[in-house]
Copies of this chain bind each other. A is one copy, B any other.
Amino acid sequence: MADTGAPGGETLLFLTDEQLRKGIEAMFFAYRGFTADPDRILDQHDYGRAHHRAIHFINREPGLTVTTLISVLGVTKQSLNRVLRTLIDDGLVESRVGRRDKRERHLYLTEKGAVLERELSEAQRVRMRAAYRAAGPQAVAGFRQVLEAMMDPAMRRHYQMLKDGA
């Protein structure tokens, strides 16, 4: 498919179906790379991607409640619970009863949990760093802009909230 013939061909070239398709495929292939390194580590520990995600956000926002984590991850409580249960039983995550509201459970990584978190995130950062370095600062800015625009509003809110520090 060639240019749509829309006015300003050059500047709108990036909106052709062909360009969009390339973006779609880039997302698909890149996401595979994105998860590949942590996946290998998780395998060794008998954990899955779901554990990684929980660990990531508990580390990011220590003391967050179960409800918040459910909302960030976009899964059901039953689904999260299964994962959380093993992490707590294995001593990677601690669940503390809320002080103000005793119904709430606040989640924290234990030292053991923090160790795994660092291992996972460092592996992921290595690849990210290489990609950033290869592409350069301008590209990185664009990368983030497009990704942000691609998020659902609810997800963008979570992202923004985490964005500028806890």
Contact = CB atoms under 8 A, between A and B. Distances in A.
Interface of A: 11, 13-15, 17-34, 36, 53, 56, 60, 74, 121, 124-125, 127-152, 155-156, 158-159, 162-163, 165
The prevalent SS among residues of A at the interface is helix
A125 B17 contact: yes
Contacts of A53: 28
A150 B15 CA distance: 23
A124 B24 contact: yes
Contact of A151 (B32, B137, B142): B32
A57 to B, nearest CB: 9
A155 to B, nearest CB: 4
Contact of A156 (B17, B21, B29, B36): B29
